[in-house]
Amino acid sequence: MTVPALSHTKLLGSISGLLQVASLLGLLLLLFKAIQFYLQRKWLLKAFQQFPGPPSHWFFGHKVNNDQELQEILSRVEKFPGACPYWLWGSKARFIIYDPDYMKVILGRSDPKSHGIYKFVAPWIGHGLLLLNGQTWFEHRRMLTPAFHYDILKPYVGIMVDSVQVMLDKWEKLSVQDKSLEIFEPISLMTLDSIMKCAFGHQECIQVDRNSKSYIQAVMDLNNLIFDRLRNVFHQNDVIYSLTSSGRTHHRACQLAHEHTDKVINQRKAQLQDEGELEKIRKKRRLDFLDILLFAKMENGSSLNDKDLRAEVDTFMFEGHDTTASALSWIFYALATHPEHQQKCREEVQGLLGDGASVTWESLDMMTYTTMCIKEALRLYPPVPTVSRDLSKPVTFPDGRSLPKGVSVSLSFYSLHHNPKVWPNPEVFDPFRFAPDSPRHSHSFLPFSGGSRNCIGQHFAMNELKVAVALTLLRFELLPDPTRVPILIPRLVLKSKNGIHLRLRKLC
């Protein structure tokens, strides 16, 4: 046999050997994953043995159409009291809670946010107040709490009024066309404008800035991408996900969001190079949100690094506008579909403000019936439908049933608010549930979560909701579009698959 032939034979032998080794390693990996799958599923079945639920496939779990997930969970509320397991696939499940006593137990603990869920949010908003845990979370919470003191919130009302009026002026021009208007995007621009001016010291109106629309679109894309990734077993690995079209879209959307927040931070840093601006800051009794971050000193004396600074700005840029936009959009929809309550709110606002006066800090607490309607809309359409925790230690609920450490628990505020054992006739819009003297369970109404990790900006949000509702009802009658009924879908915030369309009738 010639030398070249021998070399060729050896090469083929080497390749064959490598393929055999690769095949063996592949089989071993497959066997390892199968054993891992079996053991994890066995552990979860044992953990959930006290909690019956609907039957699920051993591999595919509870297969539910994404558009029907909220309705599917509600169908379980009456059949399986308190809580039940929800299988994403054979080895991954969440424990869904929709009972106020169960909520009170979990929210009274200090369990960390669910890593398996919120790790997909981290590339976007980083580890700010939403995702932090333990002592670091406590330090950041204590550092940022003064930014939401009533002395800080009081002058924000005027800024909110201006932002809402810009949106309403644009709506007035569109209302003459007698067509329905998709309201979520313009409301998102308005709430972004408001948070930018109030918390981040931005001077310009971003509702007329095209770049702001790209940020809003990036946030919408990230909401959908993260939700879809959570439910796709093949997209759990970061490397594999980065190679998919969804992964590339996610990366671009994160870049857009980060460019927006970096611009905000750099502009404020540039302003603080001016001695006059620095002197203004020193004379302030209380600092705004971004200034607190820029001047912050942690307990060890160190300042926030750039990564932590951007994480907090990304977090509050998102939470400060998207959750409020969701809440306000659904409030408008609820009022449009219940005209008798809309009119009562309008009459209350007109009695307080007349047709020409503007909303003031003092008038916010006088909107009793309007506040009742806002809260009832928040019950029907909670802006954040679910939050999740990983149990750091075993828990026993008031009925004696228990769960071990390590279970991922989802607190379904949407299901809680639609639980007929908590709220009789839960689908009926009844503002008198929130009349001043109406009794209710301390954890039956949680639009801003509860416990120590409740929403730090809830008073800011409620003020903005009251301002927007009052000013809008003075200028427009809100009417539903019967041809475009919203299809509710759970994302990081509660959205509609087909948008929220209303007709606006200008009042004389």
Percentage of the chain with pLDDT > 70?
Answer: 93
Return the closest-CA partner of residue 256 out of 231, 297, 294, 225: 225
pLDDT > 90 fraction of the chain, expressed in percent and rounded: 74
Confidence bin at 298 (pLDDT 50/70/90): low
Predicted confidence at residue 354, as pLDDT, reads 79
Structure confidence by residue, pLDDT tens digits, 313-350: 999 999 999 999 999 999 999 999 999 999 999 999 99
Calpha distance 213→221 (Å, rounded): 12
Whole-number Å distance between alpha carbons of 75 and 69? 10
pLDDT in tens, 146-203: 889 888 899 999 999 999 999 999 999 887 777 899 999 999 999 999 999 999 988 8
CA distance linking residue 378 with residue 317, whole number of Å: 21
CA distance 112 to 173: 48
Q: What is the dihedral of CA 53, 57, 61, 62, to 10 degrees?
A: -60
> Which string of DSSP letters, residue by residue, matches 57-92?
BTTTBS---GGGHHHHHHHHHHHSSSEEEEEEETTE
pLDDT at residue 19 tops 90: no
Exposure b/e, 72-104, CB count within 10 A at least 16 = b: ebbebbeebbbbbbbbbbbbbbbbbbbbbebbb
pLDDT over 70 (residue 7): no
Q: Can you tell me whether residue 388 is helix, strand or coil? A: strand
pLDDT class of 16 with cuts at 50, 70, 90: confident
Burial class (CB in 10 A: 0-12, 13-18, 19+), 466: buried
Average pLDDT of the segment spanning 286-294: 83
CA-nearest of 88, 85, 105 to 96 is 85
Question: What are φ and ψ of residue 208, in 5° steps?
Answer: -115, 15
Distance of CA 393 to CAs 82, 95, 390, 404, Å?
Answer: 20, 15, 9, 7
Mean pLDDT of 469-480: 96
Q: How confident is the model at residue 361 (pLDDT cuts 50, 70, 90)?
A: very high
Per-residue pLDDT, 501:
97
Cβ contacts of 49 within 8 Å, gap of 6 or more? none
Reduce the DSSP state of residue 257 to 3 states and report it.
helix
Joined together, the tokens standing for residue 53 give 């639920």
Fill in the DSSP letter of residue 349: H
Q: What is the 3-state secondary structure (H, E, C) of 134-174?
A: HHHHHHHHHHHHHHHCHHHHCCHHHHHHHHHHHHHHHHHHH
The H or E element containing residue 291 is helix 289-295
Digit-coded pLDDT (tens) for 234-260: 999 999 999 999 999 999 999 999 999
